Amino acid sequence: SGSDCNNSMSIVGRVLFLPQAILILYASLGLAPYDLPYALFVQTFMFVAQNKVITAQYFTWYLCLLPLCSDRIKWTSRKIVTALILLVVSIVSWLGSAYCLEMRGMSVHFMVWLASIGFFVANVNLLRSMLCEYKGFGTELLLSSE
């Protein structure tokens, strides 16, 4: 019945929210006491990356916070450079397929879906890389497993 389907979707939605909630707790409790600007950047980046709606304008939400913490990320590491290249490729792929769908009226829904998955993966990879290459306050506490 319809209510069973709605209940199943509600449970799936809650399960899908779990990784985001864990990351927000980590940023709030693990990062914020040591480096509030970086924690705000990470939280905003996560929110934008895991948002159900993707638009190019959302980049500005976290880019405006980047100058507050960019000196504590090792941008020249191979991991970060690779993640940034992957992100640029995914953005171009997503914007190209979205343009074909919205402006040209082409039936490229599957391509938009694939590009969206690639864009999400690239964002998660960049966030992981930025967390690994973070060299800020309290790093010895945050990265004690290394």
| pLDDT tens-digit map of 80-137 | 999 999 999 999 999 999 999 999 999 999 999 999 999 999 999 999 999 999 987 5
> Three-state SS for 137?
coil
Residue 115 contacts residue 140 (beta carbons within 8 Å): no
Query: What DSSP string runs through 26-70?
Result: IIIIIITTT-HHHHHHHHHHHHHHT-SS--GGGHHHHHTTGGGTG
| pLDDT tens-digit map of 36-76 | 999 999 999 998 888 877 776 788 888 899 999 999 999 99
Give pTM, 2 decimals: 0.80
